Amino acid sequence: MDNESSGIVIKASAIMHGAILPLSLLLASIGTAVADNPIIQTIYTADPAPFVYNDTIWLFADHDEDAASSFFLMKEWRLYASTDVVNWQDYGTVASLSATFKWATDRAWAPQTIERNGMFYMYCPVQLSSGAMAIGVATSKTITGPYQDALGKPLVQNNNIDPTVMIDDDGQAYMYWANPGLYYVKLNKDMISYSGSIVSVNPKPNGLTEGPWLWKRNGKYYLAYASNGIPESISYSTATSPTGPWTGKGGTIMGPTGSSFTNHQAIIDYKNHSLFFYHTGALPGGGGYHRSIAIEDFTYGSDGSIPAIKMTTNGAAQIGSLDPYKQTSATMIAFSSGVKTEKYSEGFMSVTQKSGAKDIYIKVKGVDFGSAGASSLSVRVASSGSGKLTATLGSRTGTAIATCNIASTGGTSKWATVSCPITGSVKGKNDLYWTFSGTFGFAWWQFIQASATVAREFQA
């Protein structure tokens, strides 16, 4: 993301839209789209910051509001999680300008979160009343938040943005940030203060504009970043020290393709797979101020080099499969149309239908029913009227395996578990589709395995 007061000005003429429509209505107009990139379709998301913890990818992101037109409109930070890279559960808002950084006035921009000694630290660029940019830090005892302001003021303030944090093998933590310069500090063990002065990196890595992402792999330090001005590419440099110089082998990872004039990357290893996160304007209504996170997988070269990566609609391959016999949040989604997620009265996130949307469905990818198959289905719903939830395999018009008739539960905040009969044989690995008719809340689902009497419990 670019800071127009720090030397790189985003011109409104770069990306212009006509009438602004809610994302869910735009998605409903695309018919039979089944591509899995971008990975979040319920809102526009940008600036991915994944963190691997407890064998799960926790994806922190900021949120491009639908109402943005000629500049970024961003007020909160969101969280998603996955164990297979393709199905992502929505954990909602974990921090915001209004609730977390009350001294900030605008621009909830690119965050990064890291854990140390059982505490989670979230570093966020925000705008001050003076118009300058600063970086705040918020903390939580759980990765899902909510995150609370740790200082009541900025951690650093020099009108640059996009923090990235890494704890080296010797325990020393570093925070870099950039735009238009590149800076770092050595964080203290409390992770909310630093020793010494802010260091300006000179020369900067070749072409660096903003968005640094710092990591270490096989003894080598990497710094990936948005590069080469507007429209942005993604490049990287390497070093033998966490403080540089960043003059080692590097190059361009992704060129300036797609309909967003910015890009922002993150790179992690997960379950022996290397993953490249970025954002694009590929969703309906998307563009420079309405971006969406996507993922590609890649393989490092034998010398540790990163290859050129192209944007795709398929995205990264699924790692493993999804277990249908574990109670699963309805917000666990590979692709969706016409739905929104929201906090519900039982404390978690649920799915409901957007007003005026058509062709309303959710796709869950790679659901493995095994050889025994399923014997029944339970869903948790809330409704003030009547509706129908249909489960099909392979596509929205594929084999129907269950139809859940939803009667009034006494209101949209009164939740009930509905049992639905299974029709036909439900075995093996399939893409599972949920199709909605009527308006109701959908909190979770769980299949019961044939011959199984005890189901595994839902983990929110």
Integer CA distances (angstroms), 324 to 277, 364, 417, 422, 427, in order = 27, 10, 16, 13, 11
pLDDT at 23: 57
265 has a pLDDT exceeding 70: yes
Distance CA 227, CA 296 (A): 19
pTM here is: 0.92
Span 381-438, pLDDT tens digits: 999 999 999 999 999 999 999 999 999 999 999 999 999 999 988 999 999 999 999 9
Mean pLDDT of 116-126: 98
82 has a pLDDT exceeding 60: yes
Integer CA distances (angstroms), 33 to 27, 88, 336, 361, 400, in order = 9, 18, 9, 11, 19
pLDDT at 22: 54
Span 312-352, pLDDT tens digits: 999 999 999 999 999 999 999 999 999 999 999 898 899 99
Q: How confident is the model at residue 35 (pLDDT cuts 50, 70, 90)?
A: low
Q: Which residue has the higher pLDDT, 451 or 330?
A: 330
What is the number of alpha carbons within 13 Å of residue 286 lying toward its C-beta? 26
pLDDT at 184: 98
pLDDT at 355: 83
Span 166-178, pLDDT tens digits: 999 999 999 999 9
| Six-digit token string for 58 | 């926790």
Span 424-445, pLDDT tens digits: 889 999 999 999 999 999 999 9
pLDDT at 380: 97
Distance CA 138, CA 53 (A): 18
Distance CA 349, CA 365 (A): 20
pLDDT > 70: percent of the chain:
90
pLDDT at 2: 42
Nearest of 328, 280, 273 to residue 443 by alpha carbon: 328
Query: What is the average pLDDT score of the chain?
Result: 91
| Six-digit token string for 384 | 């003030």
Whether 301 and 307 have beta carbons less than 8 Å apart is answered as yes
CB atoms within 10 A of CB 307: 12
Span 201-237, pLDDT tens digits: 999 999 999 999 999 999 999 999 999 999 999 999 9
Whether 218 and 301 have beta carbons less than 8 Å apart is answered as no
pLDDT at 347: 84
50 has a pLDDT exceeding 60: yes
